[in-house]
Structure 1
Amino acid sequence: MAYKIGIITIVRVNNYGAELQAYATQKVLRDLGYDAEIKHLKDCMKHIQKYVLPNK
């Protein structure tokens, strides 16, 4: 069973470098046997605010 890895980054911008870096990272991780998936930062913010950055 492969570990699942979420790559949280900003990819939907007018910048081919951001897209290429995210794809290359995903490809390397998959080649190493991991189940890697790219997640856009804006799509993850609600989860991050709730579980990673708790209110003080």
Structure 2
Amino acid sequence: MRLFFLIFTLASTALAGIGITAVLAAGLDGWEPIVIAAAIGAALGLPAAWLAANKIRSL
């Protein structure tokens, strides 16, 4: 479980950053698109961390 939380912290931060960068590069202004992109990135971090932690654990 600790491995999952560690990977989730890294994955959600990276995916949220990618989403925010994409929103800003698209020229969308305001706080709403930035918050939505960060939330989607954090939500996508959950399954990514779960899959990565299970794959590492199975090794």
Interval of TM-score (by shorter of Structure 1 and Structure 2): 0.3 to 0.5
What TM-score, normalized to structure 2?
Answer: 0.36
Greater share of residues in strand: 1
What TM-score, normalized to structure 1?
Answer: 0.38
RCO higher in structure (CA 8 A, sep ≥6): 2
Greater share of residues in helix: 2
